[in-house]
Amino acid sequence: SGNARGIAHIGLLKVLDQAGVPIDIIAGTSAGALFGGLYCAGRTIEEIADFARRLPRATSLLGGLFDVPVIPRSGFIRGQRTVRYLQGFFENKSFDQLRIPLRAVAADLITGEEVVLKSGSVAEAVRASFSIPGIFEPAPLDGRRLIDGGAVNPVPVSALAGQADIIIACSVIPSLTDRIHRREMLASGRMPNLLGIYLGTMEIMEAGIIESRMGAVDVLVQPDVTRYRSLEYDKADEIITAGEEAARRMLPDILDHLRTGHGAPQTHSRNGHNAPSPVLAQG
């Protein structure tokens, strides 16, 4: 998901990093592609957290992340400035320069196809992956017009097919049964604004897609972030903590899979050994 709840992915990465859990590859959609991509690029957890803390300023009209056309046609944000902003954090890296392989998932607006990006500019791929339709102009990439990958594959486990010893998936999208918090928001007067309503509608659709196509995973981490609104970027530290708490609850299961090797069919890992090594799917 491309909203503030996606910051919880940082908490999962922090717990895995502190526990010394090796990661062979990350697949991410929207915020999962952004924060997972920064980790793949070699950024430290604190650097990624600091990036998230800057988002309230960066996403303001004067913050440098967004460029708003005078007369919006296909989106309120062009995206060129977004790419330049991201390039600074990704150090203009291409996929083949990443420390850990990354798969960024987007959707082709014209054909409806899922597009798994794994070559070229990382910043451009990440921008495409979180290009919320109607908010961002579709990202022009490789002859396609790409939008947020949440439209087709919010938690992109399938992008890791055949590459996994152990699959750890992280979803920050409230399930259809967990959306009771929406009633609590209304009861407390926390009616979302227009953009929040739009993003919430997307989340409902994404939750349905997850239930129908996420597929089997070895460990599923689900941070409790339903109480946070889509645009509460100023709550970054709280949301990271929610991600940490969810990851720590599941860490014994992750370590058990590492010890026993009980997961997806074993593959030869990057380090040249046949020991099981996890992969991440984040959305």
Q: How close are the terminal C-alpha atoms of the chain, in Å?
A: 6
Q: Is 148 a catalytic residue?
A: yes
Cβ atoms within 10 Å of 275's Cβ, excluding its own: 12
Cβ atoms within 10 Å of 69's Cβ, excluding its own: 12
Q: Strand, coil or helix: what is 102? A: strand
| CA-closest candidate to residue 249, choices 59, 40, 8 | 8
Active-site option among 1, 24, 30, 131: 30
| CA-closest candidate to residue 210, choices 186, 174, 165, 179 | 174
Q: Where are the beta strands (DSSP E) in 199-251?
A: 219-221
Active-site option among 1, 108, 129, 148: 148
CA dihedral 228, 63, 283, 114 (to 10 degrees): 140
The contacts of residue 76 (CB under 8 Å, 6+ apart) are: 68, 69, 134, 135, 136
Cα separation, 126 vs 282, whole angstroms: 13
Write the DSSP symbol of residue 112: -
| CA-closest candidate to residue 149, choices 170, 174, 124, 129 | 129
| Residues with active-site annotation | 30, 148
